[in-house]
Amino acid sequence: MEDAETGYAKLNLALHIRRREPDGYHEIETLFVFVEDGDRLSFTAEPGLRLSGEFADGLEAGPSNLVMRAARGFAERFGEGEPTGFLLEKRLPVAAGIGGGSADAGAALRLLARRRGLDPADPRLIDLAATLGADVPACLVSMPVRGEGRGERLTAAQGVPSGIAALLVNPRLPLATGPVFGGWDGIDRGPLAQGDAMAAAQAGRNDLEAPAVKVIPEIAELLALLRAQEGARLARMSGSGATCFALFPSQSARDAADRAVAAARPEWWRLPTRLR
């Protein structure tokens, strides 16, 4: 039994904000997909959480880390089991709109469930994931799903083939979620279409792009660069940013775009990958 899991990077193919709730949260409609790459989480003999990897310096390893919160929640619901320690190799940028801590929490829950012989689709596990954050249930399943409510009400998304070539790019500028959601202008621009998810994504939008660009203007440059690449089928910001992505018809087209972005902006973080 493998004692490691990938915290798969999350993409929002579309993200529609329908309204701001009285408590300050937002009602959204979104299409979650996941790529084949991400952070790497493994069990260790030592208790607690150790961090490694390029982006480890941007994280705290204490009890507030979502991996440790997931482990505590699992123990409360299913019993302590074996002593649990983790090593998290942080390969994804922090505060980047691609899952981050939510993806790591999902990986922790899958690891713990596998060790205890639990189905990751166990409703008790889904309920636990929802207590950790709105994106965590989607990150737990890490497959194409439509999210509604705050993003935690999930239904399977049809029409997203695995293996689609994707390029993720981040300007290496962290972007907090709160100010971006807070910058939404409050205008409901309409629902996310039902049916085929790729068609809905193409017809959709990310309502957080405009407020994110006000905070980090480089996002507009990044999107323009991705949209100018030959073969780019869909280029959009993910989540609350600042990571943006483009989907391509082939790995060769994606790799050509990767080289073009590297030449134009060598300091930016890039991840050529594929959809799961």
- What CATH number did the domain enclosing 255 receive? 3.30.70.890
Tell whether the model's pLDDT for residue 9 goes beyond 80.
yes
Q: Which of 34, 79, 27, 16 is nearest to 245 (CA)?
A: 34
Same domain for 80 and 205, yes or no, is: no
Same domain for 43 and 86, yes or no, is: yes
Instruction: For residue 38, give its domain range.
Output: 4-156
Domain count, the chain: 2
CATH number assigned to the domain comprising residue 19: 3.30.230.10
State the catalytic residue, choosing from 10, 37, 90, 104: 10
Same domain for 72 and 104, yes or no, is: yes
Same domain for 189 and 104, yes or no, is: no
pLDDT of 274 reads 98
Q: What are phi and psi of 141, to 5 degrees?
A: -80, -30
State the catalytic residue, choosing from 37, 39, 104, 135: 135
135: annotated active-site residue: yes
Instruction: Give tens-digit pLDDT for 91-101.
Output: 999 999 999 99
Same domain for 143 and 172, yes or no, is: no
Same domain for 35 and 120, yes or no, is: yes
Instruction: Give tens-digit pLDDT for 96-138.
Output: 999 999 999 999 999 999 999 999 889 999 999 999 999 999 9
Same domain for 139 and 170, yes or no, is: no
Same domain for 138 and 61, yes or no, is: yes
Same domain for 169 and 238, yes or no, is: yes
Same domain for 257 and 183, yes or no, is: yes
190: left (phi over 0), alpha (psi -120 to 50) or beta: left
pLDDT of 84 reads 82
Q: Write the DSSP string, the chain.
A: ---EEEEEEEEEEEEEEEEE-TTS-EEEEEEEEEEEEEEEEEEESSSEEEEESTTGGG---STTSHHHHHHHHHHHHH---S--EEEEE--SPSSSSS-THHHHHHHHHHHHHHHHT--TT-HHHHHHHHHH-TTHHHHHH-S-EEEEETTTEEEEPPS--TT-EEEEEE-S----HHHHHHT-------PPP-S-HHHHHHH--BTTHHHHHHH-THHHHHHHHHHTSTT--EEEE-TTSS-EEEEESSHHHHHHHHHHHHHH-TTSEEEEEEB-
Choosing from 101, 130, 156, the residue where a domain stops is 156
Instruction: Give tens-digit pLDDT for 188-244.
Output: 999 999 999 999 999 999 999 999 999 999 999 999 999 999 999 999 999 999 999
